[in-house]
Amino acid sequence: MPEKLVIAVGGNALIEDPHHVSVHAQYLAARHAAESLGGLAAEGHKLAIVHGNGPQVGFILRRAELARGVLHEVPLDSCVADTQGALGYNLQMALTNEMKARGANRSAATVVTQVLVDPEDEAFANPVKPIGGFMEEAEAKKRSEEEGWKVREDAGRGWRRVVPSPEPSGIVELEVVRALVDSGVITVAAGGGGIPVAPGQDGELEGVEAVIDKDKAASLLAQSLDADKLVISTAVPRVCINFGQPNQKELETVSVAEAQQLIEEGHFAPGSMLPKVQAIVAFVQATGKEGVITDPPHLKAALAGRAGTRFIP
């Protein structure tokens, strides 16, 4: 039976080769992603797609650094908006072409999406999300003093700027996204976790210098749309415990209680699988429905229960 699905696709999935990151190369990656997504659309599933944008925001920030003193700075909310448009364009064109190749009468559209955050979120007092390129310690501390950046050493690879990653609390364009999805349009929304916005003192929305986790935004969107499933597409076919160790074990079906225990035992890396599992668990807890984590080639089989890791109430 056709279902309403929210599918999260990582920003790194849209860069297949770190040595080839041109716009054309990123389109080709989107075209490959569209092959898997198109199979679901051709079966009649209603799709909302949330993409990551970490590498692409890094490119924008790097350009801004190279143009310092010549062009204006680009705030983070605008960086997210830029990537929503550019990556959404790649995805909707790739999906349109995929649907045409399959002989399916389905259209695709991108919604530039604002996501509400609480300006009092504790994340603003403790920024932890690394963005932009690596720096030497002296350069990082100079930027901190001169520009007010928060900086931190990143796993022995160098120093980086860190920014807040607050919890998403609402989707401003929700009803627009709902109307598109329910009408059968393959809808790209909340890209990069959404553009972080919050009400100012006069009640008007204002952009916020922050980055929202893409998987958390996808979970919120899935709950808000009353989706049948939340699917997180990642680099591995199944979630594993003891990852990379001789006793590595793939997980097929996991209950919310079991997932929470595995989280407490530290089986999932904070910058990798942990936010994905947390996002799935939040969706399953809130809705009583299922969530799935798998890689793009196994999307169709995972929805049929033959692949991926299923999270159940």
Judge whether 62 lies within some domain. Answer: yes
By three-state DSSP, how is residue 255 classified?
A: strand
What whole-number distance in Å separates Cα of residue 257 and Cα of residue 285?
Answer: 10
Whose tokens are 């699988």? That residue is 273
Catalytic center residues: 11-12, 129, 214, 276
What whole-number distance in Å separates Cα of residue 119 and Cα of residue 288?
Answer: 30
Number of domains in the chain: 1
Computed over every residue of the chain, the mean pLDDT equals 93
- Greatest Cα pair distance, the chain, in angstroms, is 58
What whole-number distance in Å separates Cα of residue 292 and Cα of residue 224?
Answer: 18
Q: For residue 161, list its beta bridge partners.
A: 131, 151
How high is the pLDDT of residue 96? 96
Domain range for residue 234? 4-117+171-308
Of 111, 219, 118, 227, nearest in space to 174 by CA: 111
How high is the pLDDT of residue 52? 93
The C-alpha angle 266, 270, 274, rounded to 5 degrees, equals 75
**pLDDT over 90 at 154, yes or no:** no
Judge whether 12 lies within some domain. Answer: yes
Cβ(231)–Cβ(6) below 8 Å: yes
Angle, helices 256-264/274-287, rounded to nearest 10 degrees: 150
Judge whether 267 lies within some domain. Answer: yes
How high is the pLDDT of residue 91? 96
Query: Which tens digits make up the pLDDT trace of 88-124?
Result: 999 999 999 999 999 999 999 999 999 999 999 999 9
**pLDDT over 90 at 242, yes or no:** no
How much is the average pLDDT of 133-151? 87
Query: Which tens digits make up the pLDDT trace of 217-226?
Result: 999 999 999 9
Q: Which domain CATH number covers 74? A: 3.40.1160.10
What whole-number distance in Å separates Cα of residue 154 and Cα of residue 171?
Answer: 31
How high is the pLDDT of residue 263? 95
Calculate what percentage of the chain has a pLDDT beyond 90: 72
How much is the average pLDDT of 173-195? 98
How high is the pLDDT of residue 53? 92
Judge whether 64 lies within some domain. Answer: yes
How high is the pLDDT of residue 87? 96
Judge whether 61 lies within some domain. Answer: yes
Judge whether 107 lies within some domain. Answer: yes
How high is the pLDDT of residue 15? 84
DSSP string covering 167-228: PEEEETTHHHHHHHHHTT-EEE-SGGG-EEEEE-TTS-EEE-S----HHHHHHHHHHHTT-S
What whole-number distance in Å separates Cα of residue 268 and Cα of residue 28?
Answer: 31
What's the N-to-C CA distance of the chain in angstroms?
21
How much is the average pLDDT of 66-79? 90
Which helix or strand (DSSP H or E) is residue 273 part of? none
For the record, the structure tokens of 256 come out as 């919310």
What whole-number distance in Å separates Cα of residue 236 and Cα of residue 290?
Answer: 19
Judge whether 52 lies within some domain. Answer: yes
Whose tokens are 């080839």? That residue is 20
Judge whether 226 lies within some domain. Answer: yes
Q: For residue 270, list its beta bridge partners.
A: none
Nearby residues of 270 by Cβ (< 8 Å), 6 or more positions away: none
For the record, the structure tokens of 149 come out as 């950046």
What whole-number distance in Å separates Cα of residue 223 and Cα of residue 184?
Answer: 18
